[in-house]
Amino acid sequence: MTTLSLREGVGRVWLALSNALKLRPQNQEERNMQLLYFNTTMVGVASGGIVAFLPVFLARLGASPTLISWLTSGPSLAAVLFLLPGALVAERSSDLVKVRIKWVTVVLMAYLACAIAPFFVAVEQLPYVLVGIWVAKVLAEAVAIPAWTAVMSMAVSAQNRARVNGTRWALMSLAMALSSAFFGWMLDHVSFPINYQLVFFISFIFGLIDPLFFRRIVVDSTPVVRSPSSLPLRERVANYIKPVMTHKPFMVYQAVTFLYRIALYLPIPLYTLLWVNELEAADTLIGLRGTLGSLALVVGYLFWGRVANRFGHRRMLYICAAGLGVYVMLSSLIPSAWWILPLAVLWGATIAGVDVALFDIMLGTLSAERQALFGAFWSMEANFCMFLGPLIGAALMSIWGVRTTMLVGGIAQIVTTAFFLWLPRD
Closest CA to 326 of 194, 415, 246, 257: 415
Kindly give the confidence (pLDDT) of every residue in the chain, 426 residues in length, as a single tens digit, with 9 standing for 90 and above.
444 454 554 454 444 445 555 556 678 888 888 899 988 889 888 888 888 888 888 888 888 767 877 887 888 889 888 988 888 888 888 888 999 999 999 999 999 999 999 999 999 999 999 999 999 999 999 999 988 888 888 888 888 888 888 888 888 888 888 888 888 888 888 888 899 999 999 999 999 998 999 899 888 877 777 666 666 767 777 887 888 889 999 999 999 999 999 999 999 878 878 887 888 887 678 778 877 888 888 899 989 988 888 889 999 999 999 999 999 999 999 999 899 899 999 999 999 999 999 989 998 898 877 788 888 899 899 989 988 988 898 889 889 998 999 999 999 999 999 999 999 876
- What's the pLDDT at 228? 63
Cα separation of 304 and 170, whole Å?
Answer: 11
CATH code of the domain occupying 240-426: 1.20.1250.20
Q: Look at the chain and count its residues.
A: 426
Cα separation of 335 and 341, whole Å?
Answer: 13
- What's the pLDDT at 206? 92
Which regions of 130-177 does DSSP assign to beta strands (E)? none
pTM for the complete prediction? Answer: 0.81
The CA-atom distances, in angstroms, between 358 and each of 3, 272, 322, 418 are 47, 26, 14, 15
Cα separation of 114 and 22, whole Å?
Answer: 36
- What's the pLDDT at 320? 96
- What's the pLDDT at 177? 82
Q: ∠ CA 26-28-33 to the nearest 5 degrees?
A: 90
Cβ-count burial of 169 within 10 angstroms (0-12 exposed, 13-18 middle, 19+ buried)? buried
Closest CA to 314 of 257, 266, 264, 262: 257
- What's the pLDDT at 200? 94
- What's the pLDDT at 65? 67
Sorted by where each begins, the domain ranges of the chain are 26-214, 240-426
- What's the pLDDT at 248? 93
- What's the pLDDT at 322? 96
- What's the pLDDT at 17? 45
Domains 26-214 and 240-426 share a fold: yes
Cα separation of 279 and 291, whole Å?
Answer: 19
Residue 64 CA to its chain's centroid (Å): 26
Cβ-count burial of 142 within 10 angstroms (0-12 exposed, 13-18 middle, 19+ buried)? buried
- What's the pLDDT at 167? 87
The superfamily CATH assigns to domain 26-214 is MFS general substrate transporter like domains (1.20.1250.20)
Task: Specify the 3-state DSSP secondary structure of 20.
Answer: helix
